Amino acid sequence: MDFDNSGFLVGDPEQDVSSILVALDITSEVIEEAVDHNVQLIVSHHPVIWEPMKQVLTSDPQQSKIIKLIKNDIAAICMHTNLDITEGGVNDKLMELLGAKTTGILEYTDVDNGCGRLGELDNPMELQSFMDRCKNVLHANGLRFHDAGKKVHKIAVMGGSGGNELHLAWENGCDTYITSDIKYDVFLLAKEVGINLIDADHFSTENPVTEVLYQWIRDFAKDACVFISEKQGPAAQFYS
């Protein structure tokens, strides 16, 4: 998508690659993990370079990661909105884990396919039972939610920050919308229109796609050692 910065963002295009690390984010811990395992390439979901940089300094937390990647000959390929939108990507995996059949696109864009998914459960569920499923299959440490008093049957999902698309879920007749990073006004809107709303955490709604990337890369780069990062998890914790 136009605002995005996906693709080959750091490294030498001619470098040989024998070991690949898959991660949702290229954090300092993930880079250390890559160094420890002599990795030449990290493939992530979120871009390691997002905004234009006028300088690259070790004193800046974000810029210092770029320096460390280059110093250790580690390249970075980042799949963001292209991985959200593509068939089998973030949102299709999310729908699969929630036990729903995909029936359509939540938000059509100017590219092939679109953002988010519409889907249906085979059998309606009580919201409490569905939230138990969400928490378990997404390995979330907590959920924020609004209970509209409806059973869960026709759902919409958008991995990552999708609060602004609540109206699309409602307009498509969904009883439940699952996304993350939901603001206060979106919860108020959910109450007004009468739709169940679940904030399942940004990391938790997108991290399942690392398994998809892992399999795709293994199928493509058959001679490379490919593994998923063990050094990351949800940054937000719930206190109760």
- CA–CA separation, 229 vs 33, rounded Å? 8
Residue with tokens 């169940």: 196
CB atoms within 10 A of CB 43: 21
Domain ranges of the chain: 7-79+209-228, 83-206
CATH superfamily of this structure's domain 83-206: NIF3 (NGG1p interacting factor 3)-like (3.40.1390.30)
DSSP code of residue 238: -
Query: What's the pLDDT score for residue 36?
Result: 97
Instruction: Give φ, ψ of 164 to 5 degrees.
Output: -70, -15
- CA–CA separation, 7 vs 50, rounded Å? 11
CB atoms within 10 A of CB 73: 14
Alpha carbon dihedral 159, 163, 165, 170, in 10-degree steps, equals: 110
Q: Say if 7-79+209-228 and 83-206 have the same CATH topology.
A: yes
User: What's the predicted TM-score (pTM) here?
Assistant: 0.95
Query: What's the pLDDT score for residue 110?
Result: 73
Q: What percent of the chain has pLDDT over 70?
A: 100
- CA–CA separation, 228 vs 44, rounded Å? 10
Tens-digit pLDDT profile for residues 81-130: 999 999 999 999 999 999 999 999 999 987 778 999 999 999 999 999 99
Tens-digit pLDDT profile for residues 64-95: 999 999 999 999 999 999 999 999 999 999 99
Return the CATH architecture of domain 7-79+209-228: 3-Layer(aba) Sandwich (3.40)
Residue with tokens 């919201």: 127
Number of H helices, E strands in the chain: 9, 11
